[in-house]
Structure formats: C-alpha cells, structure tokens
C-alpha cells in the first residue's frame, strides 16, 4: 500500500520528533522549557542533566555532575582510551566500534575506579 505525500510527511515528522528538543521557526524548547528561560539561568552541567534526565537537578546533583565532568578532562588526547578510539577510526572502524574500544579500556583500572568514585561522591 502506498502512502500519500501527506502521510509520508507525517511519518517523517514522527520519526524525527523527540522529547528532548522541540524546534519550530522562532522557537526552541528543551524538555518543555523555552530556551530563553534557560540561557543565563542554569549552568552547563544543569543543562546536561536536563537533557539527559528530563528534569532540572537539585543543587547537590548539579555539583556531583560538575565534579564528574571536571574530573573527566584531566587526561587529554594522550590517554589510552582516547588513543585507542583514534587508532580504531584510523583503521576504518565505525563510530560505535571506536567508542566500544575506548570504553572497554576504561574499566576500573584506567578509568579511575569510576563506579567506586561515583559511590563515594553519592
């Protein structure tokens, strides 16, 4: 059965719709908040939390996320996980393969005992 042009447009619209961002001419909404209500009022970690979780974080949650983000930038481009993902892409792996390679080497040895660290922060 063939779809009418209107049905195709509706199907495409539904395919690309998301609960995270809602964009229309002159309007941008993030998780139901107009973007102009967020700019200058929330921090970048709070924005990340909102996009990922769907609600604004408490002060403690925002502080925890900010600490995790700050701690994550200390290794730079020479860290083994970064080097492995870069080498993977150079060898022709697609993005998901490169990401999997990087994540696999993090574990609790290179990744700074991530699970235990988050439990301590909590």
User: What pLDDT does 101 receive?
Assistant: 85
Give the pTM.
0.56
Residue 46 in tokens = 């709070």
Q: Where are any strands of DSSP class E within the chain? A: 21-24, 27-30, 33-34
User: What pLDDT does 110 receive?
Assistant: 63
User: What pLDDT does 106 receive?
Assistant: 75
Cα separation, 6 vs 10, whole angstroms: 6
Q: What is the pLDDT along the chain (122 residues), one digit of tens a residue?
A: 688 999 998 888 888 878 888 888 999 999 999 999 999 999 999 999 999 999 999 999 999 999 888 877 766 667 777 788 888 999 998 989 988 888 887 766 665 566 677 777 77
DSSP summary character for residue 41: T
Backbone φ, ψ for residue 22 (5° rounding): -130, 110
Contacts of residue 59, Cβ cutoff 8 Å, sequence gap at least 6: none
């Amino acid at each position: 059965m063939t779809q009418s042009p209107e049905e195709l447009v509706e199907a495409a619209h539904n395919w690309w719709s998301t609960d995270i961002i809602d964009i229309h001419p002159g309007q941008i909404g993030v998780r139901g908040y107009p973007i102009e209500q967020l700019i200058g009022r929330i921090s970048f970690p709070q924005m990340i939390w909102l996009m990922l979780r769907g609600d604004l974080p408490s002060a403690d949650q925002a502080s925890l996320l900010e600490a995790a983000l700050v701690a994550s930038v200390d290794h730079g481009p020479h860290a083994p996980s970064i080097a492995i993902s870069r080498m993977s892409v150079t060898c022709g792996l697609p993005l998901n393969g490169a990401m999997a390679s990087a994540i696999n080497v993090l574990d609790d040895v290179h990744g700074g005992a991530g699970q235990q660290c988050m439990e301590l922060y909590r």
